[in-house]
Every structure is written in structure tokens, then in C-alpha cells.
Chain A
């Protein structure tokens, strides 16, 4: 057991949660000073070379500039064609296997008894002092118990209750947008809408909703974990602040319930009304882990699908016309957007035993990365995979939500948010024109946009 967990379990009754994170931070700093932890090198951007100039063994798809410079398609196509199960032995994140074909990814994702999700699900490592306990990074049976406790918040029954609220909040945002004037779609629409959604799900103070975005971006954007630009110290500070706000929120809800108010349909109310989780706050790492998982899961993913859909329709203008002529295609288009964008590029596993896959032997203990972004463009499984086709047959059969026991819990919420967004967009605007090349996020995990300038035309 690591120290942070020990402190958490033994001391949680007396030590406030944010202080526990701070204590972990001090320990982390001390270990770094003592040389136990190496400083993770900062990524310096260089031009990503043409993949045809590289030897197959030298291809390193963990390079976080592959997506940033939008060079990823040719890299993964070469791996799929020449070495679908590929070993990179020298990456900054250590040696790892890449699984790039649809069918092989399905195999790895389904076989949790062969491939463990522990200790974490992105390519890099998190320091032990910050190892929040999230069920996405747990194997059955522990995973199943924890997931069941929280999945009600995004279950379709609960979503039905929330649809009206999601729609009115979407309408507010869209009604505030300027016509015929350039603005950043990422900032004004994608980030704003997902922040509102997260605040709604958590019943988090609405005026502080940008904090949720900030924490989530921190948690998903570490240099050592995903090749992002955040350093670990910043991450510790952010998590301490998150701990403070979430424990406060928990206590306020508790007090309201004690005073006789009836509970809402938000996550914390649901946790407090479930016997398995009503004392979750006494297990800080689990408490924070579950909340962090929900905000990360509901942040970058939907945000980048909201931007990706607009970009796709600009790159495939005939599809935009098709959509305007037949808005009933929206639900199918939503699945196609999620495939085409694949907002989370990968999930990582560790082999629990030696496994033969597509002619290669993955050894017990090896790191295995399933590249959903590649599998969703696999010509062997998907017809014309680089084309964006809003009435594609079998559009739901994409990998973006993962398969097996870790399949995305919020998939229905994501689809609902995107469907509402496009219904409301089509009702208001005649065109959404992307007027400059978008800027892509630096990461090997989050496949998305940091800026996308657009101009709206009236209907």
C-alpha cells in the first residue's frame, strides 16, 4: 500500500481531504529531490517526419505531436498494413505495444482476464501519491461494484429527466452567438456547453463551472501521462483545490438532506442515497477518483466531438447539404461524428500473461495500447473509413466508447448532448463555416481541438 492511501485510510477521519493531497504533493517533491522520481522531460515540438522515411521499428506513435500536427492518419495506416501489433521499445513512456486493427482492439478490450486496466489506462504513469482510485483503472470484481454505484447518474432513465434542462442550456449558449462574425467555436460552444453539462450533473455551483473544465484538463493533460503540457506540481495543486470543492459540496448536500430537503438527480445525491456509497467521502482517494473520472469522461470527449462534427461537415460539404435536407439523420450522424473524431485516441492495458496476437508474442507485464483512433479507420472493418458519411450503415459499430466491461458509461449522455446540439443548430443557422485551419491539442490521448474559428450564417 502506498503512503497516500495509508494516510487516506487511517487519517481520513481527522485530516481534511485537501490537506491529504498536499501531504502527497510534499512527499512527491521530496522523492523527486532524492532522485527517486525523475523529472519528466518537457516535450519540444519538432516537425513530425513523413512516416515513409522511417524504419518500422522506429515508428513511435506516442509522440504527442502526431495529433497536434495532424499527421496521425499515415502513421497508423502504415502500422495497420505492415505491423498491426507493433512494439516500440524506446519511447519516453517506456516500451509499449500498439494494437491498431479493429478486430485486435476488440479482442484486447473484451479480454480483461488477459489484459489488466490496472494501475492506469493512459500510456504514461501517474505518481503513486496521486493514484486516485477510479473504476476505469480497476479490474473485475472491484470494478463492477464501484461502477454500479455511480452509473445511475448517466443511465437513460435519469437522462430523460435531464433532457429539458440540457436543451434549454444549449439554447442559451447558441442564442448568444454572433452572426457573420468570426469566433472560436471551441471556447464559445464546445467548452461552454460541456462545462454547463458537468455543473448540471454534479449540481456544482454554476458560476464556478470553469473550474470543472480546468481540473479535468489538468487531469487529462499531464506531460508524463499523455504527452501534454501540464507539469505534475500543477496537477497536485489542482487536485487539492478539487478535493476542497467536492468535499464542501458533499457536506452541503448532506446538510440539506438532513434538513429534510429531497435529494436531486445529481451524482452526489445519488451517491449519498446508495448504501454502497453513502460513506464514500470517508475514502478520499476513491471519492476523488470517481468524481475526477466523471468530469474527465464528460469533458474532452464531448467537447471535441462538438468541434469535430463542425469540422467534418466542412470537410465533407455534401454531407452538410444532406443533413440540412434531412435532419432525421442526426442520431446516425452523431455516431458517425464520434467514430470519425475518436476524441480519446487510446486506452492502455498490461498483459497478465503471455498472449499471441496477430503473429506477435506480447509478454506478461508488457504495456499494451489499443489505438481506437486507428481501429476506427481500419479498412478491414469499416468501408471507406476516412470518409465522413452521415447516413453510414452500421455507424454505431465504432470503437470510440470501447467494448467489454469498461465500455463508456456516459455514452448515452454524450449521444444525447450531441443530438440536442445539432437539432438546435439546424433550427437556428443556415451555415457554420470553419474559416481557418483548427489548432489541435498536444497529446497522445486527447484527440481534439484547442481553437477553431468559425462564422455563422442566419437560416
Chain B
């Protein structure tokens, strides 16, 4: 199976199956990955599905829109590879991708 691995802040790993076309946020929620709140339900309007995409995978996720960057600015744990998981559409090409969860969502 093609999979993506979420790593919680404490190091716990969750490998989940990719369902192409589903957002990364929804993929995490549907697989019970803790640490993603998704308060706005995927509207790019709350910043609580913040993930840090590991290394080279950032280019596979595409680039963040201006709206997304603005929401990311509100999070204190922002990193160069920060994305909102609701804005990433998963695909088979992400097989093996690693997304780290911040200590807190805000």
C-alpha cells in the first residue's frame, strides 16, 4: 500500500494508507491520528491542521497559497516546511512521505 507517516511531537509514528484525492488533513482524521484539530473543517481558515513536511517531500505537496501562508503566520511553531494539511491533496506520488506534527496546534 502507498502510505504516509505522521510523526507526533513525542516521536510516535502513524503510517496511514493514501487514498488519492483525499486531503492530508482528512487522511489523518479518518485514521485517528492525534494532534490535528481541524477546527474549520478544511476551509484554510483556522491553522489547526499544521504539519511540517519532511525534507524533499515539500516539493511533492505543491506550494502554499497566499491564504495558507497567512494562516501559517499565526502559528508560533512555524517552520520553512510548514503546511496546512487541509490544503494538501494526497496522491500515490506521496508514498513514503513523512509529516511531523507540531507540539501544539493554535
Is A405 within 8 A of B106, CB to CB? no
Within 8 A of B (CB), among A131-167: 140, 144, 147-148, 151-152, 155-157
| B76 cross-chain contacts in A, Cβ below 8 A | 151-152, 155-157
Contact with A along B73-106 (1 / 0, CB 8 A): 1101000000000000000000000000001111
In the complex, whether A109 has a CB less than 8 A from a CB of chain B is: yes
Q: Which residues of B contact A401 (CB under 8 A)?
A: 39, 46
Distance in angstroms from A405 CB to nearest chain B CB is 6
The contact of A396 among B37, B43, B47, by CB within 8 Å, is B37
CB contacts (< 8 Å) of A394 on chain B: these are 41
Cα A152 to Cα B75 with chains together (Å): 9
- Tell me how far the C-beta of B75 lies from the nearest C-beta in chain A, rounded to whole angstroms: 9
Whether A412 touches B106, Cβ cut-off 8 Å, given contacts A106-B40, A110-B43, is: yes
When chains A and B are docked, how far (Å) is the Cα of A144 from the Cα of B71? 10
Cβ of B60 within 8 Å of any chain A Cβ, yes or no, is no
Residues of A within 8 A of B41 (CB): 394, 397
In contact, B40 and A403 (Cβ under 8 angstroms) = yes
Interface residue tally for chain A (C-beta within 8 Å): 23
A398-414: which residues lie under 8 A (CB-CB) from chain B?
A: 401, 403-405, 407, 409, 411-412
Known: A155-B106, A157-B76. A405 touches B70 (CB 8 A): yes
B45 at the interface (CB under 8 A from A): yes
> A433 to nearest B CB, angstroms?
33
Report whether A397 and B40 are in contact in the complex, using a CB–CB cutoff of 8 Å: yes
* Contacting residue for A407 out of B37, B47, B67, CB 8 A: B47
Chain A nearest CB from B36 CB (Å) reads 11
A147 partner residues in chain B, CB cutoff 8 A? 74
> In the bound complex, do residue B47 and residue A148 qualify as a contact, i.e. CB atoms below 8 Å apart?
no
Interface string of B16-58 (1 = CB under 8 A from A): 0000000000000000000001111101111100000000000
Question: Which of A110, A144, A151, A155 is close to B45, meaning CB atoms less than 8 Å apart?
Answer: A110
Q: Which residues of A contact B74 (CB under 8 A)?
A: 147-148, 151, 405, 407, 409
A110–B103 alpha-carbon span in the complex (Å): 26
Contact A412 B104 (CB under 8 A): yes
- Contact at B73–A148, with CB atoms within 8 Å? yes
With contacts A396-B37, A401-B39 taken as known, whether A106 is within 8 angstroms of B103 at the C-beta atoms is no
Structural contact, A109 and B103, CB atoms closer than 8 A: no
Task: Please determine whether A144 and B106 come into contact, CB atoms closer than 8 angstroms.
Answer: no
**Interchain CA distance A156-B104 in the complex, whole Å:** 6
| Chain A residues proximal to chain B, CB less than 8 Å | 106, 109-110, 140, 144, 147-148, 151-152, 155-157, 394, 396-397, 401, 403-405, 407, 409, 411-412
Task: Provide 22 A-B residue pairs closer than 8 Å at the C-beta atoms, listed in order of the A residue.
Answer: A106-B43, A106-B45, A144-B73, A147-B74, A151-B74, A152-B76, A155-B76, A155-B104, A155-B106, A156-B103, A396-B39, A397-B40, A401-B39, A403-B40, A404-B45, A404-B71, A405-B71, A407-B45, A407-B46, A407-B47, A409-B74, A412-B104
